[in-house]
Chain A
Amino acid sequence: MQFQGRKFATSSVAVLALILSACGGGGAAPTQPGAGKDTAESVTIAIASDEGTLTPFTNQTGYPGNNLVKLIFDTLAVVEGDEVVGLLAEEIETEDNQTYSLPLREGVTWHDGEELTADDIVFSVEFHRDNAEGDSAVDVSMIEDVSANGSTVTMVLDQPDPEFPRMVLADMAILPEHLWAGVKKVGEAGTDLAIGTGPYVLDNYDNASGYTLTANPDYALGEVKVDTIEVAIIPEESTQFAALRTGEIDISTRIVPPQQLEQLQSESNIGIVEGTEYAATLLLFNNGRPPFDDPAVRRALTQAIDTEDLVDTALLGSGTLGSPGFIHPASPMAAGDSGSPYDVDAANAALDELGAKPGSDGVRVLDGEPMSYELLVQSTSTDRLRSAELIREMLSEVGVEVKISSMESDSLDAKVWPDYDVAQGRNYDMSMWGWSAPVMLSSGLIAQLLYSDPVKGPLNVVGFSDPDTDAALDALTSEETLDGRIAAAADLEGQVAEQAPWVTLYYRDGAYAFRSDTYSGWTWQDGKSALHGFSLVDYDL
């Protein structure tokens, strides 16, 4: 199965190349967003898999599932550029980052015609608190009290949190109490519950044709620019790009593979919307297993890996070098470019100092054991497969043998993060891994990657444990202002670079292709890519 998956992925790349080469370039100038049509009667969006009934508790993926849900269900706030501004809430008022007062906009109605009330907001908070399941479910455990007074909602947090507007208010889908109050099993919520206040109404969902979303005629928060959105389910990446070229779809939700980017950009009717993805690709070390429990070994191996070569070769330059401190250099919390630690001589010297001497086969022996390790990699990810091959070569330069095991992603997850519960331990030496954009954009989630305590560090899949880092995390999460958190994050980055619990290899750049002759209003939003409200609605906020 593993080998088949790898062949399938490799075949996909080859076929993509064939699609592009067979069709010819066209030679016209690249079309940029904004150069074509600003409105459209209908666009077709291709997604890779079924997203269920498109309620906040039944969509299957964060992207693009959550993005589609947010076209149906509005949130209290929305991220516009770097700012968080009110959406259903007219303003976000707080003096201490602990008590938030949210006056609601007037004239907002649900898709069934009922009026939105402050009680719906209170209900939504309580419903999300009681139902932690679902890909669009939001952690609201920090809200100690929520109350409604007329058309104003007040939320009191357990401690000051300057990221609350971005992480909760701009993410929590608001639910209609009159429809959701009786729901017991959220996982079985049907399309009859996909009723929000958002710019689009779910009109149809079936196995054969996918989804149809139509513009909400009573939308009070702005002007909807596309009348109908057809969502087609096309699992195969190559088919999506073929359909884009024929005009059967108007935008693909798959990132354009780096090797195809230039060719697609040269197509006259195809535009590309690009931006920072923030998703990080990592090389994990199992910190609980010798010799990776020794920070000196981890640092030495980190020094042996040329991340610049990985970006140039595996991503063909369509990526950003991984920061040793993990946080993306473009993130507001990043301390700045700390440079790559790559230094083969230093890596060899460090391993020599640790007493790891080359054996007869050239592989170093440390504490009586050959430095030969298994590296897990997802068979369906071509850039990670290529990166793993390159890492094998790089580590062989310092006398460390790597045996690559390519496997289906669920099999890999079961070894690295069994049942998504770090308390169950882990069973690997090294693994290719990735964290999605939301993790990078929240100090709370970054802390969860590193805390020694599994309760506070539920994302600590490497089993990292260090008291000094725990202290740095406490300092980060207890800061009451955003500036304070940014300063604390800089200290944390230093700790991570020093301890090297993993190697942050790179952050892939995002590039999405669309038909500019149909609709070219697609814009980039950090953490949301191209499929979000600002691409489809001219908001009046």
Chain B
Amino acid sequence: MSSLKKTSILIMATTVAAALSVSVAAAMGDKPSASASGMSQVGPTPAMAGTFAKAPEAAIPPLAPLGEPPIPPDNPMSKAKIELGKLLFFDPRLGGDASVSCATCHDPEQGWSWAEDISRGYPGTVHWRSNQSIINTAYYSKLFWAGSVPSLEAQAPSAAKGGVAGNGENDLMEARLRLIPEYVKRFNEAFGEPWPTINNAWKALAAFERTLVQRDTPLDKYLLGDSSALTEQQVSGKALFEGKARCILCHNGALATNENYYNIGVPRAGRWLEDGLAQITFRFEYYAKGATEELYRTVKDDVGLYFRNKNKWDKGKFRVPSLRYIGYTEPYMRQGQFYTLEEVIDFYDRGGFDEEGNTTSYPKTKTPLITKLNLSDEEKEDLLAFLEAFTGEKIMMAKPRLPGYKPLFTLAELEAAQAAK
């Protein structure tokens, strides 16, 4: 067991050395310095290498077994809170017209996500990005494709209230919770407050989501010392992952993501060219996110991180997603551009181009980390086999029976109030 661990660490060390020249850029995300100074985009700059020499702590963290999820001090876990959060996750009354719950789009059957290129939306709409799995979201320090929220507590209201997602309104959703006696009781048990509040609902949802983790994948078992957990082919794939295929540069650490932002060359979603409903949402997103008039008029792709900071060198950059649980979360990429992992591997092998030669709408910001890989067919198969090791058993959950509404007052109470008017 210990010897295996050593081997693993040794591989890591070799990989890190091999990736030395680009590791700083990988660890830091593509920061503006190179673009802003007009330096070449094709490779790491001397400045970067120099930074690395001074900052060895920026080395790439190895893949690691997934530990316990971090729990924020202002939302401690409790059984009551988690069970309440589970009910709320499946309850469509936390939405506009009470027809869609969190679980409607983040469907356990579909990998706690939605198995179409672009997520379904609120009735009458379609979303504009691919729906991400809930599994292991407990570990992210930023959520959504452009990393726009820092916690699950902040993600929940964005999803429940967004016009193409839940389209709910705080006051009405809160009122609904208060007319469900079982929730009044459970919120009181979980939070010690007389009435359910919408903010506590987000906390309960977050607590429930922190239980949706998978820490026993073949990869976890292997990294914990069980050499039989990976096949020979997967072990070969792991070496490619950490070496020639360069995946580790961004997909590293226990969560298999450094959570930095890159433009890796994913082409525009075809859906926007052929679906009127998707064209509506596309424009809405730019309108709603406060784009300039010029951007709103001219943009034809998802600018990603640029929405948040308006730095032109961040156009088309997205937060690296985890590779965990990807066996159930197809399609892949921000608008589900690829339906299979084979397509994904081919995309990287070509250096960020799809099979028709399409790439990012923002080539200036494309990361130099993405280069042609020249993987053989066998290597691709090995890599694919290894990617499967990031996924364990399918996490299933039956929809719980939801508690019903009950009138808050009796007829007698209302009649008494009427008489006392």
> Do A and B share a complex?
no
